Structure 1
Amino acid sequence: MIKNPILPGFNPDPCIIRVEDDYYIATSTFEWFPAIAIYHSKDLKNWHLLTHVLDNEEDIDLRLLESAKGVWAPDLIYDKNRKVFIVTFTRMASMNGRYFDLDNYLVESENIMGPWSKPVYLNSVGFDPSIFIDDDNKYYVTSLQWEFRDNYEKPGTIVLQEYDINTKKTIGYAKTISTGATDRGCIEAPRIYKRNNYYYLMLAEGGTGYGHCVTLSRSTNIWGPYESRDENPIVTSHLENFNERNKPNSLKIERYKPNGTSLQKSGHASICETQDGQWYLCHLCSRPFLPELRCTLGRETSIQKMRWTEDGWLEMADGTNLAKDEVEEPGLEEVKFKSDCGTFKFSPWPETLISPRINKKHFLSVKDGKAIIRGQQSLCSLDKVSLIARRLTSVNCNFSTSMEFTPEVFQHTAGIAIYYDNMNYLTLEKTFENDKEFLEIVQMDNGKRIECFKEELSFNTKIDLKCRVNYKKITFQYKEANKTDWTNIDKIFDTTKYSDEYSQFGEFTATFCGIFVMDSNKREKMATFDYFQYNDL
């Protein structure tokens, strides 16, 4: 059996494809750099983070973007005729005043590992662009068209336009092809598939929260009209249909229903066919803490087994539409990958370690397998932050490092962090005050800075720092390097605060853990980290 989620932690908006015997999933990365994560599998059960698509700041500028802006909803396809991988994505700049200021782009590569082309501009009508290639090799772009006018249904309609691969431009203006297959509202994430002369339009509806679902419509003409499947939605965590058209709220906490599954918010899907004709659907989901209904691990990726009915509709293999915690595997030869847990030196660089908004090359160097990080702005900044972090993939985990750092003024700090966004994080850091070195815990709670612990250090040598996440509780430890016994800090922090539902300044992302350095004086102070260790327990 395949246990869900297959991509735990921050992995929203999955797009799955198969190319010969290889399976790939692309997921959103928002403000994190490099952008657009690509995962790889041979058996749909075991996955590993393979690469990122956008790894050049000239191609994607994320600086100064608020949390949850940046790179949204990549679509990944493979053009068998041209033998190229194609990724489309949205760069979301602003969501103010009912306007969504964004641009949609396309990149392509002959190899999933790159190099990828320079981004080609598509349009700016709305988010979640995807490409469909018809039998005549014509390209089409479909997306949500964002609606900001009064007296029009929000958030908008699903639109389609042709794309010319020779001129690398869209043709004309996008035309509406759907207003949704249900009345749940908040339509988005369109993808078009073709089978037996039908064009199938797959949508996410109900908002990317507790009313989320996957729907299916079809037409014999790509421009429509599209007929809705009577049994929509085809996958969901919320079984009862509701009418919330024209209500742009996406979280819908009041729609939470346990339904005997740990997976909530199931929606935003894509499908693939195995080598022997089996069908699987990947979708985003979340696993909330109860009763708080807060999802510290954010939106994750799960998979469901599907089947085609005799009358040509796609449904879950068991005939229901409730997202399952476990599904039948396809029977492919199992291929496991090296775990991304454990103790990592920094050479070769682990693909799992990424940074908010900027390339690590601006502040990091590696020598003898150690990371040397130059301090810049605070973790509150939207610009130059010296943070290296990885996704939390379990709420039962620990992480640690060994750090050499000699602060000289109070603006020098370095240590480890639990980081949701620039307004919600928790650090155990070494700093300086009144000619003495201190260890302190700083909590940023929806923009409010709180010093929760401060203690003078009795040693000025290398220090080991550790964090333990034990479900709803976060605790810290420290010790002098090369010593055996850890010192427990008698403070407990609330894991659930690091979630979409708690944050007042952004949503759609998830909790990370990592190492950081800050120098709010001269932007030059260095700290050396021997390793970064992370383990799911």
Structure 2
Amino acid sequence: MIQNPVFKGFNPDPSICRRGDDYYVAVSSFEWFPGLPVYHSRDLKHWQLLTHVLTDDNNPDLKKLPSAKGIWAPSLTWCEEEKLFYVIYGVMNSMNSRYFDVDNYLITASEITGPWSEPVYLHSAGFDASILHDTDGKKWIVSLEWETREGYEKPGAICLVEYSPQTRSVVGYPQRIWRGGTDRGCIEAPHLTRRGDYYYLMVAEGGTGYGHAVTMARATQVAGPYEGDPQNPIVTSWPENFNARHDADHLKPHYFNPQTYLQKAGHGSYVETPTGEVWLTHLCSRPFRQALRCPLGRETAIQKMVWSDDGWLRMAAGGNLAQHQVEESNLPSQPFPAKPDRDDFDGQTLDNAFYAPRIRFQRFTSLERRAGYLALRGQESLSSLNKVSLLAKKLTSVYATIVTKMDFSPEIYQHSAGLTLYYDNMNYLFLHKTWG
């Protein structure tokens, strides 16, 4: 069986694609570098962290952005006609007042490991942008629309705009095509695909909290009109629908479902195997039951789906409740070698699972200064939004033992070093040695 979540710890907003026999999932990275982790599998059960899409901390420059801003919601697709991977991502700059200031970009590469092209600016109408490579050669970009006027749903619509590879720009302004398949509200995370005579629009509804869900709609024309799946939502942690179109509380803790292991299931994308199996990735969370807090962040799960006789996606297990355990695919099992939890820093490069907030960790680390040691050059405090010498790994369980050996001789009170359990720049525990 496949055990969910397949990517434990901070791995939200998964976007899955296939090239040949290889499956790739890109996830959000927010203020962390390197940006946009990409996981790889050949059997949809065993996964490894393969690469990162964004490695230049000058492009984008995330310094001084608040926590949880930065790189949002990648769309990873493979265009067989061009033999190119496409990644679309948003840079969330601000969420002040009723405004969401976000810029959306597109990059391409012939290999998933890069090199990636220079980013092309798309638009700033909303976030969660993704692309469809249509059968006639046209390309269409969908995204949510963030409404800034008072009295309007935020977000309240999915928009569509054509993308021209020749001019490397969008054609006109995004136009509204869908307002949701339920009344849960907060429509986001659109992914547009084509199958047979239909365009399928997969979206998230309910807010990225306990009312989160994956819903679908379809149309015979890319611009619609779209019809909703009569059984929406197709994947969720709260099966019963509700009306929250104008509810600003996106967490909605009153929809916590004690009957399911995976909470907050939503923000999905799907892929088909060569044998016709359908697999859907989505984000989820595992909260502490009393406070309903999720210190591990939003994680990634995968569900087996099937096409119904009337052309809608259904969970292979039945119902619409996100499953903790999922039947394996019929693909040959191809596990990866296990990675050790221990790191003696005796190699030439650091493990690719290390991250730093807002800047490349190569700017303040060295493996050459002393054999078998990692040298860190101090910069600003852990509360800073600018340049912090924090080398971090994602916590994948609330039960963990973390040990390090340190050689450090502080000379003034501003010198400190140690271990930190870090949620963001305002919420962390710092076990450290300092002067005095």
Normalising by structure 2, we get a TM-score of 0.98
For 1:302, what is the secondary structure of its paired residue? Answer: strand
Q: What do the CA deviations read for 1:321-370 (whole angstroms, capped 9, x no partner)? A: 00000011112222222334421133332010010001112211112342
- The alpha-carbon deviation at position 116 of structure 1 amounts to 0.6
Alignment-derived partner of residue 314 in structure 2: 315
Q: What do the CA deviations read for 1:465-487 (whole angstroms, capped 9, x no partner)? A: xxxxxxxxxxxxxxxxxxxxxxx
Q: What do the CA deviations read for 1:197-239 (whole angstroms, capped 9, x no partner)? A: 1000000000000000000100000000100011100000001
| Aligned 1:229-248 pairs, distance under 5 A | 229-248=229-248
Alignment-derived partner of residue 353 in structure 2: 352
Instruction: Give the paired residue count.
Output: 432
Q: What do the CA deviations read for 1:259-278 (whole angstroms, capped 9, x no partner)? A: 2x210000000001112111
Instruction: Determine if the alignment matches structure 1 residue 395 to structure 2 residue 394.
Output: no
* Matching residue's letter, 2:296: L
CA distance in 2, matches of 1:339, 1:398: 19
Report which stretch shifted further, 88-97 or 238-247.
238-247
Q: What do the CA deviations read for 1:78-110 (whole angstroms, capped 9, x no partner)? A: 010000101000000000011001100001100
Alignment-derived partner of residue 83 in structure 2: 83
| Aligned 1:241-320 pairs, distance under 5 A | 241-259=241-259, 261-320=260-319
Contact 1:154 1:247 in 2 (8 A): no
Q: What do the CA deviations read for 1:36-93 (whole angstroms, capped 9, x no partner)? A: 0100111111111111100012321110000110000000000100001010000000
CA distance in 2, matches of 1:341, 1:23: 24
| Aligned 1:170-209 pairs, distance under 5 A | 170-209=170-209
- CA RMSD in angstroms comes to 1.0
After TM superposition, the runs of 4+ consecutive aligned structure 1 residues lying more than 4 A away are: none
For 2:254, what is the secondary structure of its paired residue? Answer: helix
Alignment-derived partner of residue 468 in structure 1: none
With over 3 angstroms needed to count, the CA separation of the structure-2 counterparts of 1:432 and 1:256, relative to structure 1, is same
CA distance in 1, matches of 2:151, 2:175: 19
- The alpha-carbon deviation at position 401 of structure 1 amounts to 1.4
Alignment-derived partner of residue 30 in structure 1: 30
Higher radius of gyration, 1 or 2: 1
- The alpha-carbon deviation at position 248 of structure 1 amounts to 3.0
Alignment-derived partner of residue 332 in structure 1: 331
How high is the sequence identity, in percent, across the aligned residues? 54
Higher strand proportion (structure 1 or 2): 1
CA distance in 1, matches of 2:329, 2:274: 10
Alignment-derived partner of residue 417 in structure 1: 420
Contact 1:16 1:270 in 2 (8 A): yes
For 1:222, what is the secondary structure of its paired residue? Answer: coil
Instruction: Determine if the alignment matches structure 1 residue 427 to structure 2 residue 430.
Output: yes
Contact 1:59 1:118 in 2 (8 A): no
CA distance in 2, matches of 1:236, 1:220: 26
Alignment-derived partner of residue 153 in structure 1: 153
CA distance in 2, matches of 1:59, 1:377: 21
Normalising by structure 1, we get a TM-score of 0.79
Q: What do the CA deviations read for 1:267-325 (whole angstroms, capped 9, x no partner)? A: 00000111211111000000111111111111000011100011111110122100000
| Aligned 1:26-65 pairs, distance under 5 A | 26-65=26-65
Instruction: Determine if the alignment matches structure 1 residue 379 to structure 2 residue 378.
Output: no
Instruction: Determine if the alignment matches structure 1 residue 366 to structure 2 residue 360.
Output: no
For 1:193, what is the secondary structure of its paired residue? Answer: strand
CA distance in 1, matches of 2:383, 2:19: 41
Contact 2:41 2:48 in 1 (8 A): yes
For 2:400, what is the secondary structure of its paired residue? Answer: strand
Alignment-derived partner of residue 114 in structure 2: 114
